[in-house]
């Protein structure tokens, strides 16, 4: 049996075991490795906030984690969109909603997935491009 569990933090924690069909890889997770994985997964979040409205101010928050597959859009800390996808993330997604009671603003967020990891998010308010966020 070859054990990789004693490798430094960030390395694989797994064992190769002999079985009747040959060698097989058995994953063994330690508490420190799970904590490291959670920390690294959360670093890959696309997160931004924008303020919408001239008289009536509203805060739109966008959070997307491609590795976990979660996407959340909040307006004034209330969830408007919440999706979870583990497999088969579409290349382009468009989220459109109206913000405000007296001063209504139409917000559109276009998420364009890059080939491997990352995305490009374009934010439109009233059909005018406000900002483009790009990254992982």
Question: What pLDDT does 43 receive?
Answer: 57
Question: What pLDDT does 32 receive?
Answer: 45
Low-confidence ranges of the chain (pLDDT < 50): 1-19, 21-42
Q: What is the pTM of this model?
A: 0.66
Cβ neighbour number for residue 15 with a 10 Å cutoff = 15
Statement to judge: residues 30 and 53 lie in one domain: no
Statement to judge: residues 64 and 14 lie in one domain: no
| Owning domain of residue 24 | 2-41
| Pair 27, 13: CB distance under 8 Å | yes
How many independent structural domains does the chain possess?
Answer: 2
Question: What pLDDT does 4 receive?
Answer: 32
Closest C-alpha to 107, from 68, 76, 65: 76
Q: What tokens were used for 18?
A: 């002999």
Neighbouring residues of 112: CB distance < 8 A, sequence distance ≥ 6: 91, 92, 119, 120, 121, 122
Question: What pLDDT does 85 receive?
Answer: 87
Cβ burial of 97 (10 Å; 0-12, 13-18, 19+) is: middle
Question: What pLDDT does 116 receive?
Answer: 81
Tens digit of pLDDT for each residue in 23-52?
443 444 444 444 444 444 445 688 999 999
The sheet that has 58-65: what strands, in order across it? 45-52, 58-65, 70-75, 78-84
Statement to judge: residues 57 and 100 lie in one domain: yes
Statement to judge: residues 37 and 88 lie in one domain: no
Statement to judge: residues 21 and 79 lie in one domain: no
Tokens 């408007």 belong to residue: 80
Closest C-alpha to 110, from 85, 73, 74: 73
Question: What pLDDT does 81 receive?
Answer: 94
- Residue-wise DSSP of 94-118: EEEEEE-SSS-EEEEEEEEE-SSS-
């Amino acid at each position: 049996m070859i054990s990789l569990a004693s490798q430094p933090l960030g390395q694989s924690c797994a064992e190769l075991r002999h079985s009747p069909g040959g060698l097989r890889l058995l994953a063994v997770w330690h508490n420190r490795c799970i904590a490291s994985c959670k920390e690294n997964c959360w670093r890959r979040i696309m997160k931004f906030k924008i303020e919408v409205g001239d008289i009536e101010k509203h805060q739109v928050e966008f959070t997307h984690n491609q590795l976990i597959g979660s996407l959340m859009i909040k307006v004034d800390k209330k969830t408007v969109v919440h999706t979870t996808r583990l497999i088969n993330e579409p290349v382009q997604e468009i989220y459109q909603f109206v913000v405000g009671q007296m001063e209504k603003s139409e917000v559109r967020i276009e998420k364009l997935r890059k080939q491997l990891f990352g995305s490009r998010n374009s934010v439109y308010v009233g059909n005018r491009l406000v900002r483009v966020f790009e990254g992982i």
